[in-house]
Amino acid sequence: STVLDLAVIEGDGIGHEVVPQGLRVLEAALEGSGIEVRTTGYDLGAGRWHRTGETLTDQDMEALAQHDAIVLGAVGDPDVPSGVLERGLLLKLRFGFDHFVNLRPTRLVPGVSSPLADPGEVDFLVVREGTEGPYVGNGGAMRVGTDLEVATEVSLNTAVGVERVVRYAFAQAERRRKKLTLVHKHNVLVHAGHLWRRIVERVGAEHPDVAVDYAHVDAATIYMVTDPSRFDVIVTDNLFGDILTDLAAAIGGGIGLAASANINPTGDFPSMFEPVHGSAPDIAGQGLADPTATVLSVALLLDHLGHAEAAGRVRAAVDADLAVRADLGARSTSEVGNALVAAVRSA
Ligand code: NAD
Ligand code: IPM
Ligand code: MN
């Protein structure tokens, strides 16, 4: 039988609660398929850092690289200095495994309420660049703590790095409603902005059937709230994509539903699947976290590894559950997991 060999990083906070539910649904979706799910847990996050001072070692990276894919919950802890785990663990994985495509779909499912009174059709895909931009750590600080302190965070944008993610975004647009919106800020960030604009123009010429649009990031936040149906595929840099996808999550029914995939399309390294949300220390340990975002991230994993049928059943199960949620009242993390496991078995 075929084996699906997964690395599992629960991470911190609600990562410990949502990941087990995601894996239950994954196994239910593959029951009877002849595909055996094998999982290996990795102890990474705040606990390990407190005990050993390590975030993610070279040996960890080598071991993780052997798996078919990685499932991650979230990292970040109030008792660890901000940035240590985010940069040293999560970003080290995204950069080290060259996850240059960060896919973040938003789809407002019938029956789910949005904070928008009249959202219309909300079904778009943010293709966020994952390995460049202001995230590279290119910067520094001088005279820290003094009145003369200087801090820089320099955004890195390479022609190769921009072109590869733009090509991926056009390919997605071809498979969807054939519209691509570049979001940037080329009226101010002229160096990076015009690089992105020129590459979108050049690659766009190879896709004459894809309508290309542009919005400055500030205006894009307006349209996302006033007219989200104008978006199909959005391609944007690492930081704009981070911010826009939390907004997208909010209009798509909440951060508890927002899934993501960090993809290395070359297949040189395992791709990584995680909810958009963080470790949510404000609700951690209480069974309040919604595992749906992790479950939908597992559907992206199944798609990525060629199990489209199982992925479709996971999404159908989520849709069915979302359709009745409003009537059910508050449920715990494991109650939602139970419902999704049952729904996937009957989907
Ligand atoms: P967050 O996403 O953890 O939480 C934002 C808000 O959303 C909180 O009110 C939280 O309770 C709520 N929320 C998040 N996930 C939820 C879920 N599944 N169900 C119900 N409610 C949910 O963002 P934050 O508070 O800015 O960050 C907390 C920590 O997580 C920080 O250390 C941050 O660096 C880290 N973080 C990690 C990731 C990641 O690992 N991918 C993503 C974002 C933030
Ligand atoms: C996300 C998170 C991360 C990001 C942080 C924790 C590094 O906010 O996955 O959206 O900014 O990419
Ligand atoms: Mn984010």
CB-facing half-sphere around the CA of 51: CA atoms within 13 A: 6
Quote the DSSP letter at residue 154: P
Quote the DSSP letter at residue 176: T
Q: How far is the CA of 280 from the centre of ligand 1 (A)?
A: 4
Confidence of residue 347 (pLDDT cuts 50, 70, 90): confident
Q: How far is the CA of 209 from the centre of ligand 3 (A)?
A: 32
DSSP 84-150: HHIIIIIIHHHHHTT--EEEEEEE--TT---SSSS----EEEEEEE-S-BGGG--EEEESTTSTT-E
Calculate mean pLDDT across residues 253-282: 98
Active site residue 135: yes
Q: Consult the annotation and say whether 249 binds a ligand.
A: no
Active site residue 218: yes
Where does ligand 1 bind, in terms of residues with CB under 6 Å? 14, 18, 74-76, 86, 90, 255-256, 274, 277-283, 289-290, 293
Atom in ligand 2 nearest the alpha carbon of residue 238: 12
- The residues that bridge with 104 in the sheet, in sequence order, are 126
Nearest CA to ligand 2 atom 8: 242
Strands 150-153 and 139-142: what pairing? Answer: antiparallel
- All structural domains of the chain: 1-101+258-347 (3.40.718.10), 114-252 (3.40.718.10)
Instruction: Report the pLDDT value the prediction gives residue 110, as an integer from 0 to 100.
Output: 87
- The residues that bridge with 152 in the sheet, in sequence order, are 140
Start-end of H helices in the chain: 15-30, 46-52, 58-64, 84-85, 92-96, 159-175, 190-204, 217-226, 238-251, 292-304, 308-328, 333-346
ipTM greater than cut 0.90: yes
Instruction: Report the pLDDT value the prediction gives residue 1, as an integer from 0 to 100.
Output: 65
Contact 89, 26 (CB under 8 A): no
Q: Consult the annotation and say whether 139 binds a ligand.
A: no
Q: Consult the annotation and say whether 192 binds a ligand.
A: no
- C-alpha distances in angstroms, 331 versus 14, 66, 173, 289, 342? 15, 37, 37, 9, 15
Instruction: Report the pLDDT value the prediction gives residue 30, as an integer from 0 to 100.
Output: 97
Model pLDDT for residues 140-154, shown as the tens digit of each residue: 999 999 999 999 999
- pTM score, whole prediction: 0.98
Model pLDDT for residues 188-199, shown as the tens digit of each residue: 999 999 999 999
